[in-house]
Every structure is written in C-alpha cells, then in structure tokens.
Amino acid sequence: MISHANFLPNVEDVAYSFSQAAKNYDQVAGLQRLVADELITKGADLHNGCVLDIGSGTGYVSAKLADVEAVDKVTGLDIAQGMINYAQSCHHSSKLNWQLGDAQQLPLVLPDHANTYNLVISSLAIQWCKNLNAVFAGVAQCLAEDGTFHCATLGPQTLHQLKWAWGQVDDYQHVNEFVPLNVLRKALENHFVQVEIECEPIELKYKSVQQLTKDLKQLGASNHNARAAQGLMGVGRLRKMVQAYESLRDEKGLLPVTYEVYYIKAKNKVE
C-alpha cells in the first residue's frame, strides 16, 4: 500500500461526507468543473464506445460523455449513495447508468466487466483512495485491449498555503495528503503502458479563509486525515491559523489557494 494511505479516511467516511455534500456540491464545485472540463477537452479523441466514470459524483462528466455521439454507454460509479441518487435524478440520457461501489473493488463491483470499457475516466476522485494499486489493477482489468485510462487527480502541492498556515499553529495534520508524482508514476507503470502525466497547478483566489474552509466542507473535501485528532479545530487554533493565512493576502487583497492537478493518460497493458 502507498504510504500516504495511512492518513486517508475510511471509505465509509468518504461515502458519508460526499453523500451529505451532494445537494449543494454543484454550486461550490468551481475547481472541480475547471478540472473536469480540461480532462474532457484533453481526451476528446478517446470518447467512444463503452465508458466507465469512476467517482462520478453528481454526474457532470458522465452526462457530458453520454452526449457524445460515438459513446454508446456510460456507467457512473461512486461510493456515495447520495451522489448516485442525485446524479440519477439530474441526468436522463438512456446511455447512462449508475453504480454504487468502491473504485478499490472494481472486480467485485463490476463482475463480468473484464475487458469491457474503451475508456475509464475519473476526475478528482482517486485521491480519496487508500489503495491506489487496487484501483489501477481493477481499471486495467476492466479496460478493453486498446482501452485508455484518463484521469485527473491532485498532487502534494495542493492547498500548500492552508498546510503552511496550520503549520504555524501546531504539528498535526490538518490538510489531506496527496501522492507524490514519482510514487504515482511507479504505481501506474505496474499496470499500464505509455503512462503520461501532465502537472498543472491552478491558483484560485478567495476573499476569506472561512469561505475556503466552507467550500472544502461543502465539497466533502474537508480534512479527514486519521492523524487529525479530535478537538484540533478549537476556536483558538482556528483563529491562529486564519491569522497566519491572512498574511498571504496579495496586492488585490485576495488569498491564494493552490491546487496541483495531475492529468494522467495510460494505455492498457496487453498481456
């Protein structure tokens, strides 16, 4: 298992958190939309046949791909029942179907789907998975012979300002950990060939730290790290963290928030 995994939440907690977030998710998912749109644009030539969308959330990516003529069928898979319900109620294309399940258990969730999908796509979901090897093994197994895995995930520079601001308060881990590029590449190369990873930092600007932490919470992305012990979010600590973050305001009076996005393209390893 990849070492960052110890600090990730359990699937039950991830599922609960995203289920709770489902209703308001689309209103605060600015970053997620930017990344999903970029992933879709980068992979336009891959959109055909049968598609599996891992961590489909409210169904944004699945629905966009179902609109593509060359795509026959899209399965949106998510661990959060609330997300599946929401996606089902929003999108009505006959090409779409929804599957509750864990991306780390694809052979169990999708039995009889070996060598089925021309494309497995995933936008900002696999960073929640403790066992990336299991995700990649499952993806490789269900890809068709010439199939492609196309994925966006986050790198360790993500939310580095928030990490730094908390670092001025204590030594606990308040911000989720993300897998470094070399570790990610190695894990991918165990299961795929022609692995390409593009790294694109995105800097958003916020008016207040409160707005950032509220967005992270509504997105289901607030800190879940196991190391973040109970009671660490006391008012005093929070105030100190906010004070530290305030020192980062730019000349326009806004607070920078970095997301390091990795766009991955990998081909199925034909045995």
> Which window, 97-105, 142-150, 189-197, 254-262, contacts ligand SAM (CB under 6 A)?
97-105
Question: Structure tokens of 209?
Answer: 């730290």
Categorise residue 55: left if φ over 0, alpha if ψ from -120 to 50, beta otherwise.
left
Question: Structure tokens of 213?
Answer: 């932490």
Please tell me whether residue 260 binds ligand SAM under the rule CB under 6 A.
no
Q: How far apart are CA 104 and CA 185, in angstroms?
A: 18
Which residue in 131, 63, 157, 126 sits closest to 266, CA to CA?
126
Please tell me whether residue 142 binds ligand SAM under the rule CB under 6 A.
no
Smallest gap from Cβ 93 to ligand SAM, in A, equals: 17
**Residue linked to tokens 């996005």:** 261
Please tell me whether residue 57 binds ligand SAM under the rule CB under 6 A.
yes
Query: What 3-state class would DSSP assign to 78?
Result: strand
Question: Structure tokens of 79?
Answer: 């661990």
Tell me whether residue 61 or residue 257 sits nearer to ligand SAM (CB atom).
Answer: 61
Question: Structure tokens of 9?
Answer: 């939440």
Please tell me whether residue 264 binds ligand SAM under the rule CB under 6 A.
no
| Residues that contact ligand SAM, how many (by CB under 6 A) | 25
Tell me whether residue 78 or residue 241 sits nearer to ligand SAM (CB atom).
Answer: 78
Please tell me whether residue 266 binds ligand SAM under the rule CB under 6 A.
no
Q: How far apart are CA 51 and CA 230, in angstroms?
A: 40
Tell me whether residue 110 or residue 169 sits nearer to ligand SAM (CB atom).
Answer: 110
Among 36, 63, 120, 216, which residue sits at the site for ligand SAM (rule: CB under 6 A)? 36
Chain positions contacting ligand SAM, by CB under 6 A? 11, 14, 18, 29, 32, 36, 55-58, 60-61, 77-80, 83, 102-104, 123-125, 128-129
